[in-house]
Structure 1
Amino acid sequence: MTNINALDPGASPLDYYGFELRRRREAAGLTLKQLGGILNYTGSLVGQIETARKVPTPEFSERADAALGTDGLFSRLVELVLRSRLPAWFQQVAELEMRATEVCSFQTHMVLGLLQTQGYAQAVLGALDRSDLEDRTAVRLARQRVFEKGDAPVFWAVLSEAALCLEIGGPEVMREQLAHLLSFEDNLRVNIQVLPLSVGAHAGLTGSFDLYHFASDPTIVYTESYGSEHPTANPDTVKDCSLRYDHLRAAALSLKDSAELIRRVVEDRYGDAVA
């Protein structure tokens, strides 16, 4: 267990966050329980964050800023904390997501992280390893704040129909996930197409991949395998994957027809309609 009296603010963004939270709380003359009451969290949770044993969320940070009058300090710090808690091999991907002007993703069997609900993300992350699952889920969901940026990237997702049918997390979690996909239907910056199983052989049979386009930098192709990443700006690879993506998008259903297919899957598999 971390000793709060020995907490080193320079050890990591999480330690620095905890150090500052404790310092600001004590300066305000508040106990852990009192601050927890103001934030609508338990004093125990506040203590765990102060001692770097618990990862803060953006919501907690916003409430802490309001309660302690810190002018957005914790809301800024939490971005660093969450990014630092990503697996080392994935941190570059988070950076690409933040810098890109357009992201194009193809997924063969599951909904990608930027579009996952909490329940779905937790089921995916906990399939083999349930340690620190709550914190790891919060870190993944925090990446979705990229959509809230003023210059948020245009996002294209082509999902295999198989991703709609693989029941990850159970019926209720899956229904919620599919409904979440439909919530982007009128969002012009988030475009979701479904590649139906009926297309047969297609340009993405070799696996999932992402394309990151930038205003002035070369396009990056990203693929991953078990516990490792493979980003590359190799012109031949970029050209090949860009052509593959064009073919996948052409073979996929239109945005409107994709949404209708998702609705039918919800109705057929879970017995109720999604508006």
Structure 2
Amino acid sequence: MANIRNLDPSASPLDYYGSELRRLREEAKLSQDQLGDILFCTGSLVGQVETAKKVPTRQFSERLDAALMTGGLFSRLIGLVLKSQLPNWFQPYAEMEAKATYISTYQAQLVYGLLQTPDYARAVLGVEHPERLDEQVAARMERQRILKRENPPVMCVILDEAVLYREIGAAEVMRGQLDHLLSFRDHPWVQVQVLPFGVGQHAGMTGSFNLLRFDDDPDVFYAESYDAGHMTANPQVIRERSVGYARLQASALSREGSAALIARVMEERYGHQPGPDVA
């Protein structure tokens, strides 16, 4: 039976997406099952998306555009839909992040979201929001699309050495995550550095923070607590944190030294270990 539910298209990007899908499917005189066959999915999934009970993927959206010949409508909408799945308090930062031309971040506990693998992100996000895990992971991966655009931001990432040793998910997940970090070793616009334990006290002792720079707007400082984000363009804060970040960069290992440490931890701590029955 077709999944029928009246939607208010203005309620959310997801509701608008679902209402447009239903409208265009009905104009094409296709049932949910028929469209599902074309998209290589079930009619039930089509119905769930139409009723805003399921968040579509980018792949689903691209296939939908091809099937209904929409001129890329759903591929354009999916970005808004996935962004709406981010926590409300985080969305303003995500919007600024997407516009930044220069991103500097110090991370004390976790890999920065723009460099997380899907498995690592799933392990992190699953701690407190297992009921919306697929949507949250998809939204985080959508943020990473800014690194693949024609003019990506310059991004400097400093990770505390503790990030490499904190096992998120499982050893296999960590190995994949550290390998992903190593893939940026020669990236022209992304620099990854590790702040080693030997540094002792440092300018990032108060916790993780980000600095965003723009072509035509003031710089922005961002930090977050348990359930809120703090963003400011206060010149004095920007001045102090910029100096603090420069000191962190000076204390961190070089790009090459950082890659060597990441590779060593990946092999020594998360390498493939023989099972108990292997001699």
Is this a same-fold pair by TM over 0.5? yes
Cα distance between partner residues in 2 of 1:93 and 1:63: 30
Give the counterpart letter for 1:52 in structure 2: A
1:180-227 per-position Cα deviation (integer Å, ceiling 9, x unaligned): 111222221111111111111111111100000011211100000011
Structure 2 vs 1, CA of residues 33 and 112 (structure 1 numbering), >3 Å: closer, same or farther?
same
Cα distance between partner residues in 2 of 1:11 and 1:189: 38
1:81-124 per-position Cα deviation (integer Å, ceiling 9, x unaligned): 11222211101111111111100000001111111111111111
SS at match of 2:90: helix
Is the CA contact (8 Å cut-off) linking 2:175 and 2:271 kept in structure 1? no
Q: CA deviation at 1:30?
A: 2.4
Give the counterpart letter for 2:101 in structure 1: T
SS at match of 1:82: helix
Equivalent residue, structure 2, for 1:107: 107
Unaligned runs of 5+ in 1: none
Q: CA deviation at 1:31?
A: 2.4
Equivalent residue, structure 1, for 2:28: 28
Equivalent residue, structure 1, for 2:88: 88
Is the CA contact (8 Å cut-off) linking 2:209 and 2:222 kept in structure 1? yes
Spell out the pairing of 1:19-58 with structure 2 (5 A cutoff).
19-58=19-58
Q: CA deviation at 1:127?
A: 1.2
Cα distance between partner residues in 2 of 1:264 and 1:41: 43
1:148-202 per-position Cα deviation (integer Å, ceiling 9, x unaligned): 2222211111001110110011111111111111122222111111111111111
Give the counterpart letter for 2:227 in structure 1: G
SS at match of 1:131: helix
Equivalent residue, structure 2, for 1:97: 97
Cα distance between partner residues in 2 of 1:30 and 1:93: 40
TM-score for both structures, normalised by structure 1: 0.94
CA RMSD of aligned residues (A): 1.4
SS at match of 1:132: helix
Equivalent residue, structure 1, for 2:12: 12
Cα distance between partner residues in 2 of 1:68 and 1:94: 31
Stretch deviating more after TM superposition (178-187 or 260-269): 178-187
Cα distance between partner residues in 2 of 1:183 and 1:46: 36
Cα distance between partner residues in 2 of 1:113 and 1:86: 12
SS at match of 1:80: helix
Identity %: 57
Is the CA contact (8 Å cut-off) linking 2:28 and 2:68 kept in structure 1? yes
Equivalent residue, structure 1, for 2:62: 62
Equivalent residue, structure 2, for 1:241: 241
Give the counterpart letter for 1:193 in structure 2: Q
SS at match of 1:7: coil
TM-score for both structures, normalised by structure 2: 0.93
Stretch deviating more after TM superposition (254-263 or 243-252): 254-263
Equivalent residue, structure 1, for 2:276: none
Q: CA deviation at 1:28?
A: 2.3
Spell out the pairing of 1:201-240 with structure 2 (5 A cutoff).
201-240=201-240
Q: CA deviation at 1:37?
A: 2.6
Unaligned runs of 5+ in 2: 273-279
Cα distance between partner residues in 1 of 2:34 and 2:199: 60
Cα distance between partner residues in 1 of 2:49 and 2:238: 42
SS at match of 1:89: coil
Give the counterpart letter for 2:212 in structure 1: Y
1:24-53 per-position Cα deviation (integer Å, ceiling 9, x unaligned): 222223222232232222222221111101
Cα distance between partner residues in 2 of 1:258 and 1:29: 57
SS at match of 1:186: coil
Cα distance between partner residues in 1 of 2:4 and 2:237: 49
Equivalenced residue count is 270
Cα distance between partner residues in 1 of 2:235 and 2:97: 20
